[in-house]
Structure 1
Amino acid sequence: MRDVLFVPFANGMELVVAADGSAAIGEKEKDLVNVPYDIVAYFAARVAFMELLSVGAEPYAIVLQNFVADQAWELLCRGIRQTCEELRIDIPITGSSESNFSTIQSAVGVTAIGTIERDKKRIAITPKGAKFAVIGEPLVGDEVLKRKERIVPLALFSQLLKQPHIYEIVPIGSKGIYYELQQLLQANGLAFSSCSCALPLFASSGPSTSILISYHPCVEGEVKKLAKDLFFPLQFDE
């Protein structure tokens, strides 16, 4: 099951909603991971947009929930705008800040809203005979900044979205590669068997630092050329 909500709208269109949140990550003394707020918002927006775009939706607005403090608003918006710039998206930001009470740890939520034609969803379209791979490495916490060169870049993600022989793209979250693969295969009515990969199958991928793709074998060379050393094929046992 994809981490997006489809809401019937009008004239064959649907609203698409995707969200991400983070807690205990920021600039407060009790935060477990210390990073500037623009980076916190950048990665939260990254996840929400990747979820939205991967199913074929067009983004129209983003909602920011700021549980840090009023003064963090502009920094958070700066991070979201950076994500938009990398994806070449220009949409409005709205939201709310907690100004009545102070918190001892940071918390931020980002919701992306878009639309899609009902019969053009990029879900459950992987056929039998497709191949599977992971692009980028699963990282979480401090690793996200320390090993940022191993994260799938948004520019590469955008390129992969345009590849006609890539069937589905699934941002990998905290449940890891194996879980997302299982969900993808089940959604397509494909038999599930054990598999192997050079990456840890059960490690958290944090803010979607890696993605799962299904693709036609004919495009593997092109995908490898684009992803370079971030390409990790999934091998299924006979």
Structure 2
Amino acid sequence: MKIEKVRDLTLIELEKGSTLVIACDSCGGIGLKEGDVLKVPPEVTGRYAARVVLLEVLCAGAEVVCLANAVCNEMKPTGQAVIRGIRTELELAEIEQVVLTGSTEENFATFATGLGITAVGVVETVRLRVNRCRAGLTVVAVGAPLVGAEVLQAQLVGYCTIRELLAHPGVYEMVPVGSKGILAEAKLLAACHELTFIPEQAVQIDMKKSAGPNTVILAAVDEQFLAKPVRHAALEVIGGFAAKK
């Protein structure tokens, strides 16, 4: 059994040519409890936490088979609301055959909302969409960096767009962008392939701003994609990959 860490993903190669893809995330202080910093319904907390790990697994080309939530609060009412939000996001992603499991805190009273979440996917190893970048590819950003209350007021990159990108022959690899921002993720993706990221001189999108719950997707693409990209209004070329000197 081969285990590999790639960016925020853990990959476990199984027998018979399959790979498990595991992604996890956590959030705290987002809810309706006394100590929460961002006051939103717990359903919202569950939705966007689920979005983060679902996109990580889907962008790797895997099918989500399990989603585990560790709610650091009581089941009623906070845990129930968080789970409703998770189910809503699964419906948006059109993921039906999935094991949903988790745990709550029933021993102590809590004063802030906390959630840990893990998604597990499976994919044929030959179809895994990681470690595919090379020099000469262009990097595009799909979506806009949003964080906090901004997320609630905007239309985010949809799961249909993710599937279109995965199906496009000109897309080599995709990376969701969260709190680290676009520039940091682009540099990390380049470093994973021993490449250098060369940013465009005049980029409109904010490359250093947090993208919250994966509100931006980076895609490494070739000329075929640039000639006929997927239909998405917020798509911008932000740079490219070059060989290290």
TM-score over 0.5 for the pair? yes
1:143 alignment counterpart: 150
RMSD between aligned residues? 1.9
- Can you give the 5+ residue segments of structure 1 that lack an aligned partner in the other structure? none
State how 1:25-174 maps to structure 2 within 5 Å.
25-71=30-76, 72-90=78-96, 91-146=98-153, 148-149=154-155, 151-174=156-179
TM value normalised by structure 2:
0.88
Counterpart CA distance in 2 for 1:68 and 1:163 is: 42
- Contact (CA 8 Å) 1:195, 1:237: kept in 2 or not? no
Three-state SS of the structure 2 residue aligned to 1:89 is coil
* Matching residue within 213, 221, 224 for 1:218: 224
1:23 alignment counterpart: 28
Post-superposition Cα deviations, 1:120-176, rounded to whole Å, max 9, x if no partner, equal 321121233211111111111111113x13x21222222222222111110001111
- Contact (CA 8 Å) 1:52, 1:112: kept in 2 or not? yes
Counterpart CA distance in 2 for 1:217 and 1:189 is: 22
- Contact (CA 8 Å) 1:141, 1:206: kept in 2 or not? yes
* Matching residue within 214, 220, 223 for 1:208: 214
Counterpart CA distance in 2 for 1:217 and 1:118 is: 26
2:3 alignment counterpart: none
By how many angstroms is 1:201 displaced?
Answer: 1.2
Counterpart CA distance in 2 for 1:76 and 1:175 is: 25
Three-state SS of the structure 2 residue aligned to 1:234 is strand
- Contact (CA 8 Å) 1:139, 1:205: kept in 2 or not? yes
1:180 alignment counterpart: 185
Three-state SS of the structure 1 residue aligned to 2:118 is strand
Counterpart CA distance in 2 for 1:52 and 1:237 is: 23
Three-state SS of the structure 2 residue aligned to 1:156 is helix
- Can you give the 5+ residue segments of structure 2 that lack an aligned partner in the other structure? 1-5
Three-state SS of the structure 2 residue aligned to 1:203 is coil
By how many angstroms is 1:73 displaced?
Answer: 2.5
By how many angstroms is 1:217 displaced?
Answer: 1.6
Three-state SS of the structure 1 residue aligned to 2:84 is helix
Three-state SS of the structure 2 residue aligned to 1:133 is strand
Three-state SS of the structure 2 residue aligned to 1:11 is helix
The alignment of Structure 1 onto Structure 2 pairs a total of residues equal to: 234
Counterpart CA distance in 1 for 2:45 and 2:237 is: 30
* Structure 1 range deviating more: 171-180 or 187-196: 187-196
By how many angstroms is 1:234 displaced?
Answer: 0.9
Counterpart CA distance in 2 for 1:220 and 1:26 is: 41
Counterpart CA distance in 2 for 1:74 and 1:159 is: 33
- Contact (CA 8 Å) 1:26, 1:36: kept in 2 or not? yes
